[in-house]
């Protein structure tokens, strides 16, 4: 699968994960959100999670597991914005693991389709 962003073709796996993570930028995130994850517009709340997932990946050198990520979200955004229900309200197709990480241009976590 591939998407076109700003005149450049970006290769994705069949499930929509980026093949070359170094190509990621916010325009690509918007396109993956719309075309792969059926999220027509990324709000500030979406971006908060996307940026935190990328930051966690840079710090840990791996995709944060959901429980650890929820603790990070609670510290950053408070109790109301740190639940699975909240994340699924923003990323209904796959939550943190399948949607937010994909849109953030992170590698597919082990055991994730």
From the candidates 41, 79, 112, 113, give the one annotated as an active-site residue: 112
Angstrom distances, CA of residue 78 to CA of 70, 86, 87: 10, 12, 13
69 as an active site residue: the answer is no
What's CA 32's distance to the chain center, in Å? 9
CB 32 within 8 A of CB 12: yes
| Positions marked catalytic | 112
């Amino acid at each position: 699968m591939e998407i076109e962003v700003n005149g450049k073709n970006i290769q994705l796996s069949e499930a929509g994960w980026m093949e070359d993570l170094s190509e990621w930028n916010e325009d690509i995130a918007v396109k993956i959100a719309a075309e792969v994850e059926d999220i027509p517009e990324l709000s500030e709340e979406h971006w908060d999670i996307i940026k935190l997932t990328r930051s966690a990946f840079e710090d840990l050198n791996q995709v944060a597991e959901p429980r650890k990520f929820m603790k990070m979200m609670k510290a950053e955004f408070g109790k109301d914005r740190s639940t699975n229900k909240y994340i699924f309200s923003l990323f209904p197709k796959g939550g943190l693991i399948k949607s937010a990480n994909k849109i953030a241009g992170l590698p597919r976590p082990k055991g994730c389709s």
